[in-house]
Chain A
Amino acid sequence: MSEKVREDVYFNLLPTKFEERVWGFWDFLAVQICFGIAAWFFLVGGFTGLVLPAKLAIPVVIFGNQVPLFLMSLLSLFGARYGIEMFLSARPMFGPLGADAWIIIYITSSYGWIAYASFLFGEAAYKFSKILGLPWVISTEVPGAIIWAVIATFIGLYIAYKGPTILKWFMRISALFLMAVLLGLIYYILAIYGVEKIASLPPPAPYMKDNQIDWPHNIASALEWNVGLGFSWAFWYGQYTRLARSESGAYHGTLWGWGILAGIAGVFSALTALIVGSFDPTDWIVALGTIELALIGLLLMAIANITSVAALVYPMSITLRSRLPRVKWKWAVLITSLPAIILENPLTFASYNVYLTYIALLTGIFAGILTGDYLLTRGGYYLRDIYNYKGGRYWYFKGVNPAGAIAAIVATGFYLWTWDPLLGVSHNGLFDKISAGIPTFFVAMFLYIILSKALKLR
């Protein structure tokens, strides 16, 4: 095997064989903790803490992130079993053209994640620069936070460019640091403010109805943001689990690393939001006012967010090259990261909760359909036909699996009927009772199963 082909195993579309697998359970756990602990958890926790007291915020963060991961945990097995990335795995469920449509959705929607991770670092860095009295250009939100965010994007894409081995070592060290600092900061919060005081703090900005806190709506909204983050991992499994040495390692590493362990970051920021009254956890770091704590906070935000940018760009580039193998690795990394810079601004940053509901819609449907197909097939597929772009058994009707397409369209309609993120209304009035993301997952899954059987596709 030539050097080029050997290299392509980790950077392109070839199925990875057993002897090429480089990641065991602990590597997975470390990578997914680093990937998980970043802007997305800090911000979702922050928004949750704005509308719910600690007694509700903590279980909502944990349940909202962990249970969607459990519901779709079978997605971790495709990549491990066949050595393929996520959107090749999606071909039997959507057909090659349908899976291509999901690649476009995946890459364009993921620019948002890069922007949030980079900009949260930018927020921390400009506030720290301000404490140190550095020049205004780097110590104001505009342009300071934007400049720092762009720097974070470039460092992250460089790590991704170096590939999975560098990523693995970087993550192993960072995961330990992140967990230690986060647990330390939570202990610090509890020691300074006291458990009783934090538990009694009212949420600073809840949704109101007739001058009363609208608890059902606050719980459903916070749950939906967290479920959006929980389901969002649906797009990211295969690019990593194709490197797993066992299905068990892939399954547990992603289930707990992205779930309850990374969720500690969400709990931390929910508590800081209750104390400071801001969804941005960097405000709390500044509010404490000591240089030492601000420095620890800055380091936390830097390592958490930059490693996550790398952890985003690497799988996005793998997916891009699996469909466009002629694109060089360097260009794939740049294409999947640089457009995010447009989104690195305060306006996008403050709209994170709306972004999460759209992500819940997209990824809940994607995960529901893939899970439905796994239940039908027990994960048994023809590798040759997964790769066969035309004419194979997964070509279906003009390159699209009608069961997958119909299930996705109907489930989209169901989600928007239940919760319209743009207007912020529930057209059927069910949102406050059942939320939207988890029910949509089940609608997509069951409809796909019924249609596949009815159309005799499985």
Chain B
Amino acid sequence: VSSEETPKKYQEPEISLEIPYLKDPELLGELKKRIEEFEKSGIQDRVLKGGDGYVPRIKKRDYIIAIIINLAITIYFLIAVLTGP
């Protein structure tokens, strides 16, 4: 039997994580695995430098659309209040 065919025993990643309320070893193991993946795949460094997280990052045009529409709503509100009932 080659080593590739031997079922691999699950190994918990060696990262420090103190979560006293999380007692389930399988869930804790999966959480550690995901955090390690997040760090080793470069996502952690990327988000600290303003890049994508798990999903594509928001773009400037998204903010611009939001600003324009909300500005229009604010002007509408101000006109209504300033001209009175």
Chain A residues, CB < 8 A from B69:
260
User: What residue in chain A is nearest B43 (Cβ atoms)?
Assistant: A383
Query: How far, in whole Å, are A213 and B59 apart by their CA atoms in the complex?
Result: 46
Q: Is B12 an interface residue (CB 8 A)?
A: no
Query: How far, in whole Å, are A392 and B47 apart by their CA atoms in the complex?
Result: 18
Chain A residues, CB < 8 A from B64:
none
Query: Assuming the A-B contacts A59-B77, A325-B24, are A82 and B54 also in contact, with contact meaning beta carbons closer than 8 angstroms in the complex?
Result: yes
- Output the least CB separation between A248 and chain B (Å): 5
Q: Does B44 lie within 8 Å of A382, measured CB to CB?
A: yes
Query: Assuming the A-B contacts A66-B70, A219-B81, A388-B19, are A248 and B62 also in contact, with contact meaning beta carbons closer than 8 angstroms in the complex?
Result: yes
State which residues 1-33 of B face A: CB under 8 Å.
Answer: 15-24, 26-27, 30-31
State which residues 33-49 of B face A: CB under 8 Å.
Answer: 34-35, 38-39, 44, 47-49
Q: Does A67 lie within 8 Å of B18, measured CB to CB?
A: no
Q: Does B27 lie within 8 Å of A5, measured CB to CB?
A: yes
Chain B residues, CB < 8 A from A324:
21
- Output the least CB separation between A334 and chain B (Å): 20
- Output the least CB separation between B19 and chain A (Å): 5
Chain B residues, CB < 8 A from A244:
55
Query: How far, in whole Å, are A337 and B9 apart by their CA atoms in the complex?
Result: 41
- Output the least CB separation between A336 and chain B (Å): 18
State which residues 49-85 of B face A: CB under 8 Å.
Answer: 49-50, 53-59, 62, 65-67, 69-70, 73-74, 76-77, 80-81, 84-85
Q: Does A384 lie within 8 Å of B15, measured CB to CB?
A: yes
Q: Does B76 lie within 8 Å of A62, measured CB to CB?
A: yes
Q: Does A62 lie within 8 Å of B54, measured CB to CB?
A: no
Query: Which of A52, A73, A325, A380 contacts B49, CB < 8 Å?
Result: A380
Query: Which of A5, A18, A219, A380 contacts B47, CB < 8 Å?
Result: A380
Nearest 5 A-B pairs (CB), nearest first? A81-B53, A63-B77, A247-B58, A59-B80, A380-B48
Which A residues are within 8 Å of any B CB, using their own CB? 1-2, 4-5, 8, 12-18, 21, 52-53, 55-56, 58-60, 62-63, 66-67, 70, 73, 77, 80-83, 213, 215, 219, 244-248, 251-252, 255, 260, 323-326, 378-384, 387-392
